Structures are given as structure tokens and as C-alpha cells.
Amino acid sequence: MEFKDNQAIYLQIANRFFENILKGKWTSGDKIPSIRDMAVEFEVNPNTTMRTFNYLQDKGIIYNKRGIGYFLADDGLEKTIALKKEQFVEEELPVFFKTMSLLGLSLDDLKAYFSKYSNN
């Protein structure tokens, strides 16, 4: 996996988890690959993937069954959507709005682009 420049690796791996959840590759109650399997897949230190798992556990997206492994929480998808929405609104939208105002684009201009996108 090619890592981006500015975000900590464990968070970039968490984003890959979110993708799997949002695309429905992992669904509620599914056992997810182990900390070590993930470290091997991403070619990173297992202590790094452990931080990813701790982070997702803190967010209530995955849970640990002692000695068995990690599973996707029943409301894992809902929580993922909520978290990604929050990140989108707080981090991506301000940049987007800034570009809009720099280019002099209005909300109505966007609507036209959006309907074009939706029709495709």
C-alpha cells in the first residue's frame, strides 16, 4: 500500500478498514483479520496495527473476544458512517469551501455539477 504524506500510518490503515466496512466487505459480527495479519499485509510493525485496532475499539467499531480475535460491532457500519461524516464535515469541507470561494463558485453552480454527476 502506498501511504500518503501527512497522516499517521495507523490512521491510514484505519481508513482502509473503513473502506471495507462502507463497501460491505465486512459486515456486523464478521471476524476481521488479526493484528499480525494486517501488519504483514501493510508491511508495517505489528505495534502500528495494534494502534489501529485500539483506535477502532475506542470508537466502538470493532470489539475483542479474548483469545478469539476481533469482530465488527453490530452497529459498526453506523458508527463508521458517523465518524467519516464528522471527518468529512470538519476536515474536507472547509478545504472544499475555501477552494470554492477562491474560484468564485456558488452553491447553485455546485448543484448543476452535482446533478450532472448524479445522472452519470
Q: How far is CA 54 from the centre of its chain?
A: 15
Closest CA to 70 of 13, 22, 31: 31
In the complex with another protein, the residue whose CB is nearer, 28 or 47, is 47
For residues 6 and 60, give the distance between their C-alpha atoms in angstroms, rounded to a whole number: 25
Grid coordinates standing for 70?
476481533
Contact between 46 and another protein (CB under 8 A)? yes
Out of 2, 23, 43, 104, the only residue in the binding site for another protein (CB under 8 A) is 43
User: Looking only at residues 49 through 78 of this chain, which bind another protein when binding is defined by CB under 8 A?
Assistant: 51
Q: Which residues bind another protein (CB under 8 A)?
A: 3-12, 36, 39-48, 51
